[in-house]
Structure 1
Amino acid sequence: MSRDIPSKLIQTIDCKQGAVRAVRFNADGTYCLTCGSNKTIKLWNPHRDLLLKSYQGHGYEVLDAQAGCDNSQICSGGMDKTVRLFDVATGKALRTFRGHAGTVNCVKFNEESTVILSGAIDSTIRAWDTRSRKNEPVQVMDEAKDSVTSIQVSDHEILSGSADNHVRRYDLRIGRMMADYIGKPVTSVTFTRDGQCILVSSLDDTLRLIDKDTGELLNEYKGHKNSEYKIDGCLNSKDTHILTGSENGLVCIWDLVDANMVEKLDHSTMRAIHSLSYHPSDTCLLTASGDKFYVWKSKYAPSGD
């Protein structure tokens, strides 16, 4: 068994915020955020099962959140059609951005945490300047023909997945948009850590590894169940393994190169495991299902790590 696989369940944490819609590590992996159907965001130390703070302000379910690069702010989006900015230390809502015509599915900061990108059911991505006093978006990307389900941001690119069966990549340096047709609604997109490839989850029980520049299909990963719900896929911190949730209570892990499934993490539930977040440097995985999130580490990790 590889030391790079988080196969040991360390914590099961009842969030007490209704259904957990997303779990997300912060930038250095010390803390994490959970988004709840009870309109709250919670900040945790997942390694010690410690609730640190709750954030309120959304008028309906919170679907996604991210901590900023210096951990001082949180951005979030939800079913109340708003994007919000919170101060981590005080818990206060600093800004509320309105403009989306429907549920906000996903949010991401840019690398400097000065701009929030939000994707929504209204088929648009909107960019909000957190330093400006204006509440209008600084840019609207409306190329998608259906709900924007997932966003990733690098220093010069925005990657998005949509229910219109496409992945779109916006190169901000040259002002170009490139689209790849996947064939089924896209539920999750992410860059590999080296920035060379993208991992795409779609509603046909398949993840695809695609060369970012050429669009070539490099590998497919199958064996999980994903035909109904938005389920996250991700890579581990070393780009050696692919991970995804599944609609039957499992997390499936494959070797990136040979596409062999090497591990299934059984959550002892038949509910979908829909949200995943991998630690930026360590062998540690967070997963969410129902009203709980789970902390997984290498079985070789010292106890208390």
Structure 2
Amino acid sequence: MYLLLNQSEKDEIQNIIKHWIRISKIKLGWIHDFDKIVAKYAANIFMLDTFCSSSKLLKTFTGHKNWIYSIDYSVLNDNQFICSGSADSTIRVWDVDNNEQIQSFNGHSKSVYCVKFSPYHYRNHRRNVVCSSSDDKTISFWDFKDNIAFQRYNQHTDSVFCIEFSSFNGGQYLCSGSNDRTIHLYDVETHKSLHVFKGHTKGVLCTDFSPLQSIKNNKNDNNKSNIIGLIGGNGYTICSGSYDGTIRIWDIETSKQLTVFNGHESNVWSVKYGSNELINSNVNTILSGSNDKSVRLWDIRSCQQIQVFNGHKSTVYTVEYSPFVVNNIEVSDNSSVICSGSFDNTIRFWDIRSNKKELYMIKGDIQEDYGIRCFKFISSKKNRNDNDKTNQNCEINLCYCSVNGSIRIWG
């Protein structure tokens, strides 16, 4: 069903759902019967069964000479791009539609651990910008359209493992986690360091911003004169995972530590907040992956672990809430799906309400991949094979990178 929707129809459905959940501030259970049916229909277009039955390897990008630690995806000026950061010290940008590398930056002196497209620079200045963090202790900004580096942050005193742009204010804020055991919060507009979060006893491996919220009594979400106060007042937080095996939640306004989750037996490599755009209670959860081979789901309100998903044979480097749902017989309803990637060379899909076994598994190429380091769900354009050869639709694909330095798109 999803493959028959064009981009405008898909956007319209998503906007309706966002309006119901964020603007009206209501939950699915409170919507009257007709709206509930429509919302459930909208959710069902992302059924996992469709992906599993038709998925295959679509594209492969090669060029990196060593491990790829991070990838990101964005659509800029109607063009699809992937960026990647590698142990070969380069950042590369790939044109998805034309299946080619279009840019390579060599400014870092050591491994590039994390890359992100900057939503702030595109939204406010129409610049195509990638941000990167490195083992050389720096964070850099690169304009891949004009082929220039234009900003560098040097506040950390050790390797910078992760960066993340804020879900609010058009990505105006950037957080970074470092082996110096701190998390820094920056204003991308002014390039000022706003806060330093301290509490982890070992290096910080991963961070995430809490999802977008409605701001009460404020008609302009982009009020820059008092935005930090608004962020804190509405409960915006950062979560982080560390070599110390803990997951911590921090208040963005005060920089105070709010919660510590203990349960993982080793390094926490990936953390993700549930999204407000999902039609369920995922907004109150955090997902994590660890060196202990497990994927765990945590309840933010009760500060308790909800589920443990076991099955991986090696380190879980990356976790995501997937765009899919699955028909859950146990609860007679549709349930959300989470996804995890591991050094055991597999990507596994799990039903969020049942941890008995994985729903589906993608195996990397045994001869070439050697292990999954990161992945990203992307909405790729697809040419329909009918009389209208110009008609393009979108489909959900999975882009992942491997230890051997290749990027593959599966869908």
Q: TM-score, normalised by structure 1?
A: 0.77
Does residue 171 of the first structure (1) align with residue 187 of the second (2)?
yes
Match of 1:143 in 2: 155
CA contact (8 A) 1:237 1:279 kept: no
- Specify every segment of 5 or more residues in structure 2 that has no aligned partner in the other structure, as ranges: 1-45, 213-230, 277-282, 326-335, 361-395, 397-411
Matched to 1:236, the amino acid is: G
Deviations 1:58-98 (A, max 9, x none): 12221111111356110001011000000002211000011
Is the deviation greater in 188-197 or in 95-104? 188-197
Does residue 261 of the first structure (1) align with residue 305 of the second (2)?
yes
CA contact (8 A) 1:47 1:295 kept: no
Matched to 1:211, the amino acid is: D
CA contact (8 A) 2:318 2:340 kept: yes
Match of 1:193 in 2: 211
Matched to 2:348, the amino acid is: Y
Deviations 1:15-49 (A, max 9, x none): xxxxxxxxxxxxxxx8xxxxxxxxxxxxxx67854
Deviations 1:129-167 (A, max 9, x none): 122143xx1111111111110110132111100000110
SS at structure 1 position matched to 2:350: strand
Distance in 2 of aligned mates of 1:237 and 1:221: 19
Is the deviation greater in 288-297 or in 116-125? 288-297
In the superposition, relative to structure 1, how do residues 223 and 116 fare at CA in structure 2: closer, same or farther (>3 Å)? same
Match of 1:240 in 2: 284
The structure number with the bigger radius of gyration is: 2
Distance in 2 of aligned mates of 1:98 and 1:294: 34
In the superposition, relative to structure 1, how do residues 64 and 169 fare at CA in structure 2: closer, same or farther (>3 Å)? same
Match of 2:242 in 1: 202
Equivalences for 1:9-88 in 2 at 5 Å? 48-69=54-75, 72-88=80-96
Counterpart pick for 2:103 among 95, 105, 114:
95
Higher helix share: 2
CA RMSD of aligned residues (A): 2.5
Equivalences for 1:208-287 in 2 at 5 Å? 208-227=248-267, 231-238=269-276, 239-269=283-313, 271-279=314-322, 283-287=336-340
In the superposition, relative to structure 1, how do residues 216 and 61 fare at CA in structure 2: closer, same or farther (>3 Å)? same
Equivalences for 1:103-114 in 2 at 5 Å? 103-111=111-119, 112=122, 114=128
Q: CA deviation at 1:235?
A: 1.4
Counterpart pick for 1:181 among 190, 198, 202:
198
Distance in 1 of aligned mates of 2:81 and 2:100: 10
Q: CA deviation at 1:218?
A: 1.4
Distance in 1 of aligned mates of 2:133 and 2:103: 18
Distance in 1 of aligned mates of 2:178 and 2:52: 31
Distance in 2 of aligned mates of 1:48 and 1:268: 24
SS at structure 1 position matched to 2:105: strand
Match of 1:24 in 2: none
Distance in 2 of aligned mates of 1:64 and 1:132: 23
Matched to 1:168, the amino acid is: H
Deviations 1:223-268 (A, max 9, x none): 11224xx610111224211111122221111111111111000115
Matched to 1:66, the amino acid is: D
CA contact (8 A) 2:338 2:352 kept: no
- Specify every segment of 5 or more residues in structure 1 that has no aligned partner in the other structure, as ranges: 1-29, 31-44
CA contact (8 A) 2:160 2:177 kept: yes
Higher strand share: 1
**% identical equivalent positions:** 26
The aligned length equals 256
Higher RCO by CA contacts (8 Å cutoff, separation 6 or greater): 1
Distance in 1 of aligned mates of 2:192 and 2:53: 41
